[in-house]
Structure 1
Amino acid sequence: MEPADTFARVPDGHDRLWTPHRMAYIDGESKPTDDRPGPGCPFCAAPERSDEDGLVVFRGTSAYVVLNLYPYNPGHLLVCPYRHVPDLTAMSAAERGELTELTATAMATLTSCKHPDGFNLGMNAGPVAGAGVAAHAHQHVVPRWSGDANFLPIIARTKAVPELLADTRAELSRAWGSGDGAR
Structure 2
Amino acid sequence: MAYIQAGPQPLRDECPFCEAPKHPDEERLIVARGETAFVVLNLFPYNSGHLLVCPYRHIGTYDQATPEEVAEIGALTQTGMRVLREVSRCDGFNLGMNQGEVAGAGVAAHLHQHIVPRWATDANFFPIIAKTKALPQLLDDIREAVANAWPR
Tell me the TM-score range normalised by the shorter chain.
over 0.9
- Select 1:66's aligned residue among 36, 40, 65: 40
Identity %: 53
- Which amino acid counterpart does residue 23 of structure 1 have in structure 2? I
Distance 1:25 1:154, change over 3 A: farther
How far apart, in 1, do the equivalents of 2:86 and 2:22 lie?
28
Report the aligned-residue RMSD. Answer: 1.4
| Cα shift readout 1:126-178 (whole Å, capped 9, x = no counterpart) | 00110000000000000000120222122212111111111100110010036
Distance 2:111 2:11 in 1: 14
User: Which of the two has higher C-alpha Rg?
Assistant: 1
2:6 corresponds to 1:22: no
SS in 1 for 2:123: coil
User: Aligned partners of 2:127, 2:23: CA distance in 1, in Å?
Assistant: 31
> So what's the TM-score if we normalise by structure 2?
0.95
Partner of 1:145 in structure 2? 119
For residue 25 of structure 1, report the CA deviation from its aligned partner.
5.7
- What is the TM-score normalised by the length of structure 1? 0.79
Residue 26 of structure 1 and its aligned partner are, at CA, apart by 6.0
Aligned length: 152
SS at match of 2:11: coil
Q: Give 2:63's match in structure 1, choosing from 54, 79, 89.
A: 89
SS in 2 for 1:116: coil
- The residue type paired with residue 8 of structure 2 is D
Superposition map of 1:111-122 within 5 A: 111-122=85-96
Relative distance call for 1:21 and 1:55 in structure 2 (3 A) is closer
Q: Which runs of 5 or more structure 2 residues have no equivalent in the other structure?
A: none
| 1:32 and 1:133 in contact (8 A); partners too | no
Please tell me whether residue 133 in structure 1 is matched to residue 107 in structure 2.
yes
Greater relative contact order, per chain length (Cα 8 Å cut-off, separation 6+): 2
Match in the other structure for 1:16: none
Say whether 1:78 aligns with 2:52: yes
Structure 1 gaps, min length 5: 1-19, 34-39, 179-183
Check whether the contact 2:41–2:52 (CA below 8 A) recurs between aligned residues. Answer: yes
Listed one character per residue, the Cα deviations across residues 16-62 of structure 1 (whole Å, up to 9, x for unaligned) are xxxx543246612x2244xxxxxx00000111110100100000000
Whether the 8 Å contact between 1:25 and 1:70 is mirrored in structure 2 is no
3-state secondary structure, aligned to 2:53: strand
The residue type paired with residue 88 of structure 1 is: Y
